[in-house]
């Protein structure tokens, strides 16, 4: 997921050492852009989250995320049709709720999302795979999500606010869904530089705006 203008990612460096005790050289992968068939596929379930192949993919995804300046990345975005997501939520993007929290760098294998209620809210999103554009997207306000870690253990969290939005955005990539496909009103979609100068449009698309840069993508 791409953040919005103003937020500075250099304050939140990614440290893969918290995930890998032994690391090889990583590779920066090419980002797939809207229109590429890999972004339209339902990604395959990872059969062995603890395998060396899975760890290799994750290492390269983390290097690519660091290079891109984004907050999250799904494997299909780097031309790998597997159900893998990496993301983090910096403190600067959190709200007041206890479940709209900052989160450390997280690797999710085969994640699943359960909406907690039917309430949705609008807010702006951008994406590494949809460069230079942004749109206001309705998302479930509160969710529970589960995943498998690289060591085979299970993780679970409850999320709301931007935390919830980021997880939903990234997991959509695993089902061949880009954020414009979730939009209800295409008046709230446009080039980032133009939208940010349109105060009335920004207000219409999200009542609780926080500054974010084009370089950050909920990817």
The distance from CA 121 to its chain's CA centroid, rounded to whole angstroms, is 17
* In contact, 33 and 129? CB cutoff 8 Å: yes
Is 170 annotated as catalytic?
A: yes
Catalytic pick among 66, 125, 170, 216: 170
Quote the CA–CA distance of 14 and 66 in Å, as a whole number: 6
For residue 18, what is the DSSP state?
G
Q: What torsion, rounded to 10 degrees, do the Cα atoms 1, 97, 84, 17 define?
A: 90
- Both tokens of residue 16? 């893969």
Q: Which of 110, 121, 126 is nearest to 184 (CA)?
A: 121
Instruction: Return all residues near 214 (Cβ < 8 A) that are at least 6 apart.
Output: 2, 4, 5, 126, 132, 192, 193
Beta bridge partner(s), residue 139: 121
* In contact, 216 and 88? CB cutoff 8 Å: no
Residues identified as active-site: 170
């Amino acid at each position: 997921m791409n953040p919005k203008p103003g937020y500075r990612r250099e304050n939140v460096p990614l440290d893969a050492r918290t995930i890998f005790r032994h690391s090889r050289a990583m590779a920066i992968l090419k980002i797939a852009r809207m229109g590429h068939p890999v972004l339209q596929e339902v990604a395959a379930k990872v059969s062995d989250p603890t395998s060396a192949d899975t760890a290799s993919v994750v290492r390269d995804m983390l290097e690519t995320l660091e290079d891109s300046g984004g907050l999250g990345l799904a494997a299909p975005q780097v031309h790998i049709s597997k159900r893998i997501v990496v993301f983090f939520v910096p403190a600067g993007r959190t709200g007041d709720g206890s479940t709209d929290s900052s989160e450390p760098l997280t690797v999710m294998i085969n994640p699943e999302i359960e909406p907690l209620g039917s309430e949705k809210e609008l807010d702006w999103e951008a994406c590494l795979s949809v460069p230079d554009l942004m749109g206001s997207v309705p998302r479930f306000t509160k969710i529970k999500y589960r995943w498998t870690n690289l060591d085979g253990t299970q993780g679970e969290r409850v999320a709301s606010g931007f935390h919830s939005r980021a997880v939903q955005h990234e997991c959509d990539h695993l089902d061949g869904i880009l954020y414009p496909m979730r939009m209800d009103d295409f008046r709230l979609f446009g080039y980032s530089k133009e939208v940010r100068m349109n105060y009335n449009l920004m207000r219409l698309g999200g009542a609780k705006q926080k500054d974010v840069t084009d370089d950050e993508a909920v990817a």
